[in-house]
Amino acid sequence: MQVLKERILREGRNLGRGILKVDSFINHQVDPQLMVDVGRELARRFASFNVTKVLTAEISGIAPALTTALALGVPIVYARKTRPITMTNGTYRQTAPSHTKGKTVELMVSVEFLGPGDRVLIVDDFLATGRTIEALVRIVEMSGATLVGIGTVIEKAFEGGRERLSHLGVPIESLVVITDMSDGRIIFAE
């Protein structure tokens, strides 16, 4: 996705240790039209998979997941990291270590919103180590739903997420793939 590459090169900042700052257009300030374009492209790639729900994790997955779900015409469910008082029924719960938060986070999805009839596309802003997405996959499995694919906006290929998730046997689509962030660079896959 060329427009995304250009935006990363223009506004993204390599903070070292594999950390990419894209908070001017993805995860603090957000460009809504770019998110709509991102959602349309992810939806296009999974158009033939009969997706019934898009699943993501709060917080920064919400924007691209919402626009993907909009383009697919299905609901989005975002896993909560803290239990709101309105979450009164049973939940599927899994934990994942968070790279950017420096601690373990819990992910919770109400049993009401995911079940055996669902065909789930997981969407997140980043594919890095894949551990957050792995926790979402376990939630899909707990619910009896079928995982049909994984879509992310930016993949950091050098953090091994794709390898970690490859045993799932579902397509993994990332709109841009970064292969190298050493020495302050941001190198994209061809």
Interface positions with a second copy (CB under 8 A): 15, 19-25, 27-33, 35-36, 58-59, 62-63, 66-67, 69-70, 73-78, 80, 82, 84-88, 100-102, 109-110, 112-113
State the minimum distance, in angstroms, from the CB of residue 183 to a second copy.
Answer: 19
Contact 126, 155 (CB under 8 A): yes
Closer by beta carbon to a second copy, 58 or else 180 = 58
State the minimum distance, in angstroms, from the CB of residue 50 to a second copy.
Answer: 17
Identify the DSSP state of 82.
S
Sequence-distant (6+) residues with CB within 8 A of 33 are: none
Closer by beta carbon to a second copy, 50 or else 166 = 50
Q: Is 174 helix (H, G, I), strand (E, B) or coil?
A: strand
Query: Which tokens is 61 given?
Result: 């997955």
Closer by beta carbon to a second copy, 8 or else 20 = 20
- Chain position carrying tokens 């700052």: 21
What b/e readout covers 129-138, taking b as 16+ CB neighbours within 10 angstroms? bbbbbbbbbb
Q: Is 140 helix (H, G, I), strand (E, B) or coil?
A: helix
Closer by beta carbon to a second copy, 15 or else 166 = 15
State the minimum distance, in angstroms, from the CB of residue 53 to a second copy.
Answer: 8
* CA pair distance 1, 75, nearest whole angstrom: 25
State the minimum distance, in angstroms, from the CB of residue 27 to a second copy.
Answer: 7
* CA pair distance 77, 83, nearest whole angstrom: 14
State the minimum distance, in angstroms, from the CB of residue 94 to a second copy.
Answer: 16
Closer by beta carbon to a second copy, 5 or else 13 = 13
